[in-house]
Chain A
Amino acid sequence: MKTLSRRQFLKMTAGTGLSIAVAASPVGFRLLSATELEKEDAAVQLSVWLRIAPDNAVTIMVNKSEMGQGVYTSLPMIVADELDADWNNVRMEAAPAADAYKDPAWGTQATGGSTTIRHMYEPLRKAGAAAREMLMTAASQEWGVPVTECAVSQGKVRHTKSARFLTYGRLAEKASHLTVPQNPTFKKESQFRYIGKAIPRLDTHDKVNGAAMFGIDSFVPDMLYAAIARPAAYGAGLASMDNAAAQRITGVRQVVPIYSGVAVCADTINAAWKGRDALKATWQDGRYPQLSTESLEKEFISRLDAKGVMARNDGDATRAINAAAKKINATYVLPFLSHATMEPMNCTAHVRADGCDIWVPTQNQTGVQMLAMKMTGLKPEQVRVHTTYLGGGFGRRFETDVVEEALTISMSTGRPVKLVWKREEDIQNDFYRPANCSAVQGALDGEGRVTAWSHKIVCPSIFSRVFPRMMKKGIDPAAVEGLENMEYEVPNVAVEYVRTDTPVPVGFWRSVGSSHNAFTVESFVDELANAAGKDPIEFRLTLLKKHPRARRVLQTAAEKAGWGKPLSKGQARGIAYHFSFGSYVAQVAEVSVNQQDGTIKVHKVTCAVDCGSVVNPAIIQNQMMGGLTMGLSAALKEKVEFAKGGVKSENFSDYELLRMSEAPEVDVHIVKSGEKSGGIGEPGVPPIAPAVANAVFAAIGARVRRLPMKPETMLEAMKQA
């Protein structure tokens, strides 16, 4: 385990001011300062979370990855607020991979599941509040006045009676010798200085000036660039290659066959890529030569006839459907999706006999470290993981596949290696958002009330590979996420899961199961409302009597969007809401459809979000805007195509992403509920696809049950309307 030894910690902190370390213990966290450490067992594991230097600089270590969601700002805000630091003196540093920086709720150092604020809010407030109390005590001792007469504000302790003040920097050294309070008093919400305010991000300046260092910007002296020739089909072995031709390319140093292909290593990236071309590697057919977009879809649909596992079974849905006044059936089909982070997968690794350094844009520091330990036999303290900025993550960078390749190549060449995937490799070697299909049956009684909802989903399993222990009774929690916990108050609900794994690897894609289940659930609710002859919002509200937070986001989005008010000719509104990652989000989309060519124009999206307590409203608004824009990109355009046993899609030419001309105006409203924090990185994604599909139905009466809503899909849906 990579932690500072007591000696290192003392050396690092001696004379440099106040450092608050957090020691992981079986009962949670203990806060420690340098002096206290003298008395501690040398084996105690700790890392510094907060440092106050004599020059007043406050440095906060951030144990989460910055991939756009703003944690390099929001986490420092939490500490700075409790500390009452001067924001101008606040700095952040990315924490190395170490036990003490593990997420306290998870026991692993990773970023995902929209959990950062939810997991880190309390521990960071505690560190900030403890330091504040120590600085106040130090000041009171310095002045010889009771601590109750001291107050803090923006980096200073003040004694109002005598009109004196001391800066935190001035007090840091003295404070470092005090005992750290284990249960410091938190501020009241009304006393927050930063939390709840739209504080500008700490990373904006560097990102605007090209100074932010992403993984791809890592350079190590004497490094080789690596490019990997890979098979096009899953499970295909190497048939032939021209090693000598590759070696003849100027700058090519080594050609190394590895488990995933053939790595060409060179002095420059261009030489590595030229060498890979010259290699002219050919591959066998692969293990599944018949695999194609069509074969996969056929398999998913045929599996709708298979018996699955019941993920939820309230009442007796079958009986209720048989007794229904009106029955509604629908089948929904959704594609595999690629993450397509703007920064292609990359990793720079240097394995030596006595240690290993890895520079990587990762969401999974612990996973990277454990992998390196397993591959090299090195000890945790010998494996250093340097987390860079992430040029997008969306779940893709939770995987460690590119790290494994870089480590393998560094180990066989004995050199530092920078591995950068081309876009084609990135699109074709993803862990995709699973394709899936759902057959849904609904029942209405004579008054148009929903009496039953029976939902069967055919979907590959992510958890069986990533977290097998979280599979319960054969149910993948991701496959039924947002479905088995659907909030609509229906007396008879059946959710059945038919696990269908294919050769296509699947993984976490921003909002995971909710990215597809929100579409089927919210489209089907709309179908039921239409069958009952009711307004889509009124209909939802009658099914959510016991869910006030859901009701409020629906009502807020509807009101702000002007639901029911006239629109320009040809335009219509659709609504959807979804609860995911602890947050409620409703979105109203205004669309028009060109009925000649089948194109959809989304003019505006109004979004209401209740994520409980708010740390930074500007970041929340941007995450909603970004999440729904990414969700819209998937809804309108994205589908991974397969052929001849592998991935056919290659680049942004045939895996198109939403462009500015297709992006709607976005209006975000934060609904304050005072509830505990919910997630914010993912919940903006799920509602947009059904909101648009429901708006399309309102506009032209065609129900889209297949994503993406490309023009050809739209024309087909219109034919059936």
Chain B
Amino acid sequence: MIRLEVNGKGYQVDVAPDVPLLWVIREHLKLTGTKFGCGIGMCGSCTVHIDGKAERSCQMQVGDAQGKKITTIEGLPENHPVKKAWIQEQVPQCGYCQPGQIMQAATLLNEDPHPTEEKIVKHMDGNLCRCGTYPKIKSAIRLASKGGGK
């Protein structure tokens, strides 16, 4: 039995410890905002926070996530400045990669509330968007760093 703390809630899941955290979050806990994109940690669609750090949940075994605070897109408050900025900037198109983008961006602003353009790009470069929303993601992060969307 694996014990997890996700979005402040305790869960017990009957899975093998080597199952990727991604599939436990999605298929067992039904928190489907975290997405599967590539399975090799190269697209960032599965990004969640582990003890406040952005991690690729497809690359982490669920056993290693025990005892840690896991936050998914559903657990990031709706009034979080990054979410508000994403809405104000109307970032999503198909929307599939956006939970991962948002989770990735949120940790940047925790580390550095006023990141430079260069720092934004470096921090976000592991997250792919096929719809090509990159310019909008950048402006949403800039907006959030200025105190966020309305």
Nearest A residue to B30, CB-CB: A219
Could you say which of B49-57, B84-92, B107-115 contacts chain A?
B84-92
Count of residues in B whose CB is under 8 Å from the partner chain: 56
**Residues A666 and B92 in contact, CB atoms below 8 Å apart:** no
**Residues B121 and A652 in contact, CB atoms below 8 Å apart:** no
Could you say which of A205-213, A228-236, A295-303 contacts chain B?
A205-213
**Residues B132 and A626 in contact, CB atoms below 8 Å apart:** yes
A225 to B19 Cα, complex, angstroms: 15
A250 to B86 Cα, complex, angstroms: 42
**Residues A209 and B78 in contact, CB atoms below 8 Å apart:** yes
- Interface range, A side: 35 or more
Residues of chain A within 8 A (CB-CB) of B2 are none
Nearest B residue to A626, CB-CB: B132
Question: Closest Cβ of chain B: how far from A606's Cβ, in Å?
Answer: 13
Q: Give the interface SS of chain B, mostly helix, strand, loop or mixed.
A: loop
Interface: B94 (CB within 8 A)? yes
A204 to B97 Cα, complex, angstroms: 13
Interface: B31 (CB within 8 A)? yes
Produce 1/0 per residue, B28-44, CB < 8 A to A: 00111111111110110
Nearest A residue to B97, CB-CB: A342
**Residues B40 and A651 in contact, CB atoms below 8 Å apart:** yes
Residues of chain B within 8 A (CB-CB) of A627 are 132
Inter-chain residue pair count (beta carbon < 8 A): 172
Question: Closest Cβ of chain B: how far from A265's Cβ, in Å?
Answer: 15
Residues of chain B within 8 A (CB-CB) of A653 are 40, 42
Produce 1/0 per residue, A62-75, CB < 8 A to B: 00001111100000
Interface: B146 (CB within 8 A)? no
Interface: B64 (CB within 8 A)? no
Residues of chain B within 8 A (CB-CB) of A661 are 121-122, 125
Nearest B residue to A422, CB-CB: B39
A660 to B136 Cα, complex, angstroms: 11
- Name B72-112 residues within 8 Å CB distance of A: 72-74, 78, 83, 86-87, 90-99, 102
Residues of chain B within 8 A (CB-CB) of A633 are 130, 132
User: Assuming the A-B contacts A217-B32, A389-B95, A629-B134, are A652 and B38 also in contact, with contact meaning beta carbons closer than 8 angstroms in the complex?
Assistant: yes
Produce 1/0 per residue, A28-55, CB < 8 A to B: 0000000000000000000000000000
A627 to B133 Cα, complex, angstroms: 10
Interface: A391 (CB within 8 A)? yes
**Residues A392 and B90 in contact, CB atoms below 8 Å apart:** no
- Name B1-60 residues within 8 Å CB distance of A: 15-16, 19-20, 23, 26-27, 30-40, 42-43, 45
A268 to B30 Cα, complex, angstroms: 13
**Residues B134 and A343 in contact, CB atoms below 8 Å apart:** no
**Residues A630 and B132 in contact, CB atoms below 8 Å apart:** yes
Question: Closest Cβ of chain A: how far from B21's Cβ, in Å?
Answer: 11
Residues of chain B within 8 A (CB-CB) of A205 are 87
Residues of chain B within 8 A (CB-CB) of A319 are none
Nearest A residue to B102, CB-CB: A208
- Name A215-274 residues within 8 Å CB distance of B: 216-217, 219, 225, 250, 268-270
**Residues A211 and B33 in contact, CB atoms below 8 Å apart:** yes
Interface: A550 (CB within 8 A)? no
A420 to B23 Cα, complex, angstroms: 12
A204 to B90 Cα, complex, angstroms: 7
Residues of chain A within 8 A (CB-CB) of B42 are 651-653
Nearest B residue to A650, CB-CB: B40
A203 to B127 Cα, complex, angstroms: 21
A168 to B77 Cα, complex, angstroms: 35
Question: Closest Cβ of chain B: how far from A567's Cβ, in Å?
Answer: 19
Residues of chain A within 8 A (CB-CB) of B136 are 622, 625
Interface: B129 (CB within 8 A)? yes
**Residues B95 and A629 in contact, CB atoms below 8 Å apart:** no
**Residues A207 and B92 in contact, CB atoms below 8 Å apart:** yes
**Residues B135 and A666 in contact, CB atoms below 8 Å apart:** yes
Nearest B residue to A685, CB-CB: B132
A211 to B33 Cα, complex, angstroms: 6
In the complex, which of the residues A200, A340, A342, A630 has the most CB atoms of chain B within 10 Å of its own CB atom? A342
Interface: A283 (CB within 8 A)? no
Question: Closest Cβ of chain A: how far from B118's Cβ, in Å?
Answer: 9
A219 to B30 Cα, complex, angstroms: 9
**Residues A269 and B23 in contact, CB atoms below 8 Å apart:** yes
Interface set of B (CB-CB < 8 Å, partner A):
15-16, 19-20, 23, 26-27, 30-40, 42-43, 45, 72-74, 78, 83, 86-87, 90-99, 102, 121-122, 124-138
Supply 8 further A-B pairs (C-beta < 8 A) apart from A68-B95, A268-B15: A204-B91, A208-B87, A210-B33, A622-B136, A625-B135, A651-B39, A660-B121, A660-B127
